[in-house]
Chain A
């Protein structure tokens, strides 16, 4: 079992729709959870961090965490073509910056 699992996609949504990205992790003791966006050929950039169960909203982005189910999700509302990228889920196992990344989900937003 991979430590962090994501559907590789591609996930395609029309412009203006909600994109839903999912991630599961194996280490129940994980403390911190992150979503990064990576454009092709570029480095990952942080979108959201979440540490507690529930929802966290930042603009068009909402991160959801359910530690009991070991599940993290990212919702992107009013998706734009500029949101087309690979989204990486990352889990910090022991709060010591030992980050484990999923393989990423490729999102395409069609105009």
Chain B
């Protein structure tokens, strides 16, 4: 059974560029989460979807960040324009029921120069 799949694994780009992170949740899971992990701030929940609908986006840092889930098997997190302070590891996670644990992807290590 494939786990949560994220791409790319690593992304290095210059500030001002648009960055798109992708996530494929586990088939049958109806909730999807985007997290950002840094040394300074730890693991932060950015946004989560339930049945493809955004439920809570209060963790999205600012308008430069946007997330979509056009269908049950795909989600994107976009940063436009990117800034050096956006450098972090971004994790996607999914779960199949509301009270169950989450399954995490391998993350995207993003470096903005």
Decide whether A and B assemble into one complex. Answer: no
